[in-house]
Structure 1
Amino acid sequence: MIGLLVNNKEMKEIEYLLKREMEELLLDLDNSRIDGLIKRAMEERYEILLGIYKRTATKAEVLKYMRILKKGTN
């Protein structure tokens, strides 16, 4: 495990970057033109980013970014 010291302004910037990237991934995951293998890699990346975001955000903020899988998809 690696520790990281950041000030409040830096933490807000990190949160902004995480949210922005997760939003982009969510949009791309809904794109039917993207291949399944690539989508799987994107889903793995999304889970990693969400895990990082969970360490700093409130539960209410995290719920906004929780993925709801549609029936029939993995």
Structure 2
Amino acid sequence: MIACQKTNQDDNLIVYGIVSTGMIWEFCKLMQNTFTKHPFSYSIVEPQKVLGYLDYVFAKCEKQIQSGL
């Protein structure tokens, strides 16, 4: 995530991260020097929750791109 900020030469870029074993999904973000991990892990047993959070992350990314950050 830090490499993404550096590659884009923008420490203000909010970088979202997703880690998955395939069964368990975890989400996080890096805003400047602050790393925040979502307090819950999501299981593929409840795909609506995983897909809902993926939709949220992708919407945030799209909004950031459209705003020119």
Pick the TM interval, shorter chain. Answer: 0.3 to 0.5
Write 1 or 2 for the structure with the bigger share of helix: 1
* Greater C-alpha Rg: 1
Higher strand proportion (structure 1 or 2)? 2
Q: TM-score, normalised by structure 2?
A: 0.41
- Per chain length, whose mean CA-contact separation is higher, i.e. which structure has more relative contact order (CA < 8 Å, sep 6+)? 1
